[in-house]
Structure 1
């Protein structure tokens, strides 16, 4: 393939832009915020599971406490009824029976109140655990929001740079021969670099120094000949720095 030496040299400018665009694409995919967001998301998921379990524990205790409160209220109602009957008087046998039942009800109320108190203490601990998990969850969500904001800011900066580089690439590529650009793009898509400066007898793509027949081939090639490296197949752009 033939191309003017100046056109070949301008491939280096094009390659510099494409390298910058590739670096920006890599930066977009490897932002530290992405790893941070992923880590925090897993933490939030685990905390959410823990919060659900803590909430269930509190709800279960609330249900049990409510049941005890209903039972205690029933005992109180029955005691009030028996007390009213005692106050009204009656046969000795009936009074003794009511007194015995009142004693039984007092013991039952005491047992229920003790059990309820124990549950209330357990609920206090369960609520403290729930509040602790909820606080951790809120803090983790704040960290995720902050990381997402920093990610979006970085994305916006990268997009701005990409648009600037792409805008510069268009006119440059349009001024180069179509066949030269087609070859350059094919090599670049295959290897990430389409053209490289040959400096001091060394290919700028694979960094291999040319010797013997390979070096003689490049030296003897006309200036408008598009020379490719035998090792990496990239276009080697020759300038005064090439050592030929």
Structure 2
């Protein structure tokens, strides 16, 4: 096979490799996974806010319960003195009774506030439970999609390995100068450095060559390297 015909075969392999790389990078499951990961980030943000709300409510409830316990201890202490017999003065007993009454009112107020804090925590707990379930579902989706991507990558990588092996075998028969020129053109011209000349048009840029240029190409030796006047690609007759 002539070097230029081999070059066109190499170009075909390179085009296939470029297509495989594009297919690997743009697997539909990648976009699906990105959407799931975005959803997971949103869930994490909402969960963090809900956990902050729950922490504030728990701290408030804890403080209130501590205050209730302190008031209860004081009531127990005062009532203990009242009924111990050690206090006999009616004025002092009356003051202690009023203090107990005041403390009981305060305890009821604190208990009401503690109940409100507990009630306020219930919808937050429900939200956290819902977010945990939503997160578990999204994580399962992400894991499944990673598996789909992994399987597709393995399949594509096997195709890439086969194409690369075939390309390497073909390219080994090309002259170094032709290979280097082709590679430079591939980099500059979107991956296509060589194209077939068909019906007077370049297969790379798909533009018709002028009649004068076509006549020059027809008269050139078969081994001559011809390039497209329009795009600069190597033309294979």
Distance 2:3 2:23 in 1: 30
**Residue by residue, what CA displacement relative to the aligned partner does 1:56-101 show, whole Å, maximum 9, x if unpaired?**
1111111111111111111212222232233334332233222212
Partner of 2:124: 126
Q: Mind listing any 5+ residue stretches in structure 1 that lack a counterpart? A: 239-244
Aligned partner of 2:227 in structure 1 is 228
Gaps of 5+ in 2: none
Establish whether residue 30 from structure 1 lines up as the match of residue 29 from structure 2. no
Q: Which residue of 2 aligns with 1:83?
A: 79
Q: Is the 8 A contact 2:226 2:234 kept in 1?
A: yes
Aligned to 1:104: 102
Alignment pair present for 1:208 and 2:207:
yes
RMSD of aligned residue pairs (Cα, Å):
2.0
Deviation of the 1:164 alpha carbon: 0.9
In 1: Cα distance, 2:207 partner to 2:92 partner: 114
Q: Distance in 1 between matches of 2:155 and 2:10?
A: 22
Indicate if the aligned counterparts of 2:8 and 2:194 stay in contact, CA closer than 8 A: yes
Residue 22 of structure 1 deviates from its aligned partner by 1.0
Between the two proteins, the alignment pairs up a number of residues equal to: 234
State the shift of 1:217 in Å.
Answer: 1.1
Alignment of 1:183-198 (within 5 A): 183-191=181-189, 192-198=191-197
1:1-244 matches, within 5 Å, as: 6-89=2-85, 90-191=88-189, 192-238=191-237
Cα displacement string for residues 92-115 of structure 1 (whole angstroms, at most 9, x for unaligned residues): 223322221221111111111111
Q: Which moved more, 1:137-146 or 1:194-203?
A: 137-146
TM-score normalised by structure 2 residue count: 0.89
SS in 2 for 1:198: strand
TM-score by length of 1: 0.87
Give, in whole Å, the separation in 1 of the partners of 2:177 and 2:92: 117
For 1:124 and 1:207, the matched residues in 2 are separated by: 69
Task: Tell whether the 8 Å contact from 2:227 to 2:235 is kept in structure 1 after alignment.
Answer: yes
Shift of 1:134: 2.7
